[in-house]
Amino acid sequence: MASGVLRDGLYMNVFCRFFLLPLGLFSSSLCGPALGSVFAWTLCPLNVLLIIVDDLRPSLGCYGDKAIRSPNIDQLASRSLLFQNAFAQQAVCAPSRVSFLTGRRPDTTRLYDFNSYWRIHAGNFSTIPQYFKENGYVTMSVGKVFHPGISSNYSDDSPYSWSFPPYHPSSEKYENTKTCRGPDGQLHANLLCPVDVADVPEGTLPDKQSTEQAIRLLEKMKTSASPFFLAVGYHKPHIPFRYPKEFQKLYPLENITLAPDPQVPAGLPPVAYNPWMDIRQREDVQALNLSVPYGPIPVDFQRKIRQSYFASVSYLDTQVGHLLSALDDLQLTNSTIIAFASDHGWALGEHGEWAKYSNFDVATRVPLMFYVPGRTAPLPEAGEELFPYIDPFDSVLESMEPGRRVMDLVELLSLSPTLAGLAGLHVPPRCPVPSFHVQLCREGQNLGKHFQLQDLGEDPHLRGNPRESIAYSQYPRPADYPQWNSDKPSLKDIKVMGYSIRTIDYRYTVWVGFDPREFLANFSDVHAGELYFVDSDPLQDHNMYNDSQGRDLLQSLMP
């Protein structure tokens, strides 16, 4: 965008924030996204609050899981456009985050593990916060946004992506240490780790610190002449399940059900199974003396894992609630887009698995929702709160339905271009093939068309056809059979890549030979296949790849 446009936009933003907003004149009719043009952006650019959660599957009230107490996230959903069928491109932290923050697929970022930095290893690809920064935004990172370490150059991609050094909570360093009080009274490095917050090191937890820091930044930005892009990354419900112990009370063990399909499916190819080795390394799981690779975990411990995952989700919900309530208190909800997403899902015993690391829906499907002031919900009146804090411990919680659901299958990859479009920035162009030499482009769709339906009277002819939507995922393996590094193989050890296509009707995965030196998949070298018909087999337990019905479908897909 031309520097003159940026300069003029900055002047108009000062006018909006310091003159119109105090007078109650900062409204969608003047500055809102309904204008949908560069003029609207230069007049009053919208801020962006991006909330990224680690390992959160759609186990939320707003996604139909009524056993989960997530009233604050549900409240956000009631003011948002919610995507019912959103999928990550690889179900592990670093590759997924680099993918959706750059808008490129793992085969383009060439990151399938944790051990390379895309700007050096693949191409100098721009990120979504970098793009906002280059267009006049103050960009800030709190908590786990990029995966820390070499995959973000040990700097969370600073200084490219952020205006200031990213914030990491000081108590983060205790997450995997011996801070879990066991039945023996000693401290352990356990999977299940409900704690008395007053007794843990520093007397706090990482996500609490991240919320507090994010609120401090919002308070500073309230009087800023520049729009902001604030990304807040929450750790929970990532393992270990280290959360305030009172949240266990929300989920009595006697009420916890097992996964509906806790057995390893008979027709599952061995290459598709992940042996959840990181779970096995925790002291309380080691004490179970489980067989490798297929387990199983004793039923009573399965219930405890599910209890702690759900309790971690409710703890996360309180942090989101405090953050959004502060946005209300600072009168920023009428000028801030809120995007909420997870990097991937997590299996809670489905298919006999207890982790991500696969192409199944439980590992790849994620929550995804966008609040856009004046578009997904009316702008708040003076003194009105859109996101008042709701205590999940309240005995009676009001049921809240999402503002509007989109049933089309979408990819997490679309987060970057969609945020750019909603903020009024130019949406980056589609990437050519190959695109390693192109700094700014996108491989995902801009989901902006779904936000226009309300403006266009919900004309059914303008809706997308869910049967035409497709989501792609992939996962690497070091061998055809489960082994110690099957979950997280290093690049040099990858021998097989599982490419998966999810449509409204089926999930089809083909496991093919892969050359990690050339980053090439050999689709003539098929090691195994999976085919699940979603209508009749929503849990994906019955592999039809070698059945006549499956062969007929696959034949019809051939060019």
Question: Which residue out of 44, 62, 93, 441 is catalytically annotated?
Answer: 93
Question: Which residue out of 16, 31, 62, 147 is catalytically annotated?
Answer: 147
The backbone region for 216, taken as left when phi is positive above 0, alpha when psi lies in -120 to 50, beta otherwise, is alpha
Establish whether 16 is a catalytic residue.
no
Q: Give the closest residue to 315 by CA, choosing from 479, 154, 197.
A: 197
CA distances from 373 to 32, 313, 378, 451 (A): 7, 26, 7, 12
Nearest 5°: phi and psi at 378? Answer: -60, 150
Alpha-carbon dihedral sign for residues 405, 409, 415, 420: negative
Q: What angle do the packed helices 206-221 and 299-329 form, to 10 degrees?
A: 20
Establish whether 180 is a catalytic residue.
no
Separation of alpha carbons 10 and 249, rounded Å: 49
Q: Strand ranges (DSSP E) for 419-545?
A: 471-477, 496-502, 506-515, 520-533
Contact 276, 355 (CB under 8 A): yes
Separation of alpha carbons 292 and 339, rounded Å: 39
The enclosing H or E element of 102 equals helix 93-102
CA distances from 123 to 79, 102, 438 (A): 38, 11, 8
Cα angle for residues 55, 60, 61 (degrees, 5° grid)? 175
Q: In the chain, what are the helix, strand and coil shares in percent, each to the nearest 5?
A: 35, 20, 45
Strand, coil or helix: what is 130? helix
Strand, coil or helix: what is 179? coil
CA distances from 426 to 154, 252, 416, 418, 534 (A): 30, 50, 12, 10, 37
Place of tokens 């190819």: 269
Separation of alpha carbons 2 and 232, rounded Å: 29
CA distances from 61 to 64, 68, 398 (A): 5, 6, 11
CA distances from 405 to 12, 452, 555 (A): 34, 13, 33
Nearest 5°: phi and psi at 506? Answer: -155, 160
Active site residue ranges? 93, 147
